[in-house]
Amino acid sequence: MKNNWSIKTELPISYDIKNSTDIFSIQNKDILLYGNQTENRRRLIVLDKSFAKYYFDIINEYFKYNNIIYHIVLIDGGEENKNLNNLLYLLEEIEKFGLSRKNEPIIAVGGGVVLDVVGLASTLYRRGVPYIRIPTTLLSIVDVSVAVKTGINFKNRRNRLGSYYPPIVTFLDKSFIKTLNSNEISSGFGEILKMAVVKDSVLFDLLEKHGELLHSSKLECHCADEVISLSIQGMKEELENNLWEKDLKRLVDFGHSFSPIIEMKSITNTDVDTLTHGQAVALDVIFSSCISYIRDMLSYDDIIRIIKTAKKLRLPVYHPSFTDSLLLLESFNDTIKHRNGDQNLPIPKEIGNSIFVNDLTYEEICETILIYKKVINE
């Protein structure tokens, strides 16, 4: 055959992120507006075990009251459970349920780990079935809710296996935050602090001024809605035109240049404190800001402001892994591979405004460690 062919197409993507108050109140029909509307409606609900402690009975009552044929699958959250075993278990449960391909959306209720695993299962099963996301943690509300990435960890690397697959809708119910403990709330603030330092000085000012109140009140205070809205809006602005990551210069990767391997190793290394994702991101934010300082962009006072704000949000500001130059280099080199051979390191040139650098050296990493050790003791 002499002919060659070229196929060119574009995949239209549109999905909504909607606020919904008391989404599992029996009077609230938001979830039920999606999928088939026949008399014998069926739904598979995947529920985060930690959230089930508070809402299992409520969710059961919701679907019973609305005459839905349903099955609940419980999944453990936590980064250590974001693995192939959980993915395969979920796929088996989907198969047992006999899920229809197009009109019976899976309903994922939980934190980022559960939402990512369900998203990946949804894109794999029958080459794609619809799903609905209902994030229940602060981190998943402000971060996972916007992105289309799904994934699991593999070979002790974060999100090494994954896909891009959007839900048909994401529902945000801020009342779920009250179920979180202090550590879970601070983890969510790690991603919010990231957006504030790299992109939004107004958001940073809010965190700096009200950080302690935001944390202690579990975001039940006068400025909480603005903080959440600014965080989501910032994520939307950065992701909307680059959902498939064709451009690997991404401001949202701030805080994710050194932290991924450090976070994963903290889970298995009993000699250091285990880090949640948001905590690891916050530590990376501080370290990367110190790089900005040695390059004469951020001032010393700026670094101190960032550290003090992190403390107000009950985020850790020190971890021994961020003083290990070889570990930092290992993590950064792995990140460079993920960024297709370029550093594309986002660093703030001032709070709320950033640039990318591609010439960071090992010597600068070592110099940054010295500054990092100094500023955290201020």
Tokens of 89: 């278990």
Q: Which amino acid does the sequence have at 87?
A: L
Q: How far is CA 90 from CA 106, 107, 157, 211, 357, in A?
A: 11, 13, 21, 38, 41
Q: Are 288 and 254 in contact (CB under 8 A)?
A: yes
3-state secondary structure of 246: coil
User: For the packed helices 182-199 and 201-216, what is the interaxial angle rounded to 10 degrees?
Assistant: 170
Burial zone of 21 (CB within 10 Å; 0-12 exposed, 13-18 middle, 19+ buried): exposed
Residue matched to tokens 């550093």: 343
Residue 355 Ramachandran class (φ > 0 left, ψ -120 to 50 alpha, else beta): beta
Give residue for tokens 């965190």: 207
**For residues 305 and 302, what is the distance between their CA atoms, to the nearest angstrom?**
5
Q: In 255-324, which ranges are continuous DSSP H helix? A: 259-268, 277-294, 300-312
What is the set of active-site residues? 149
- What span, in angstroms and rounded, lies between the C-alpha atoms of 121 and 168? 15
Give residue 41's identity as a one-letter amino acid code: R
Contacts of 25 (CB under 8 A, 6+ apart): 62
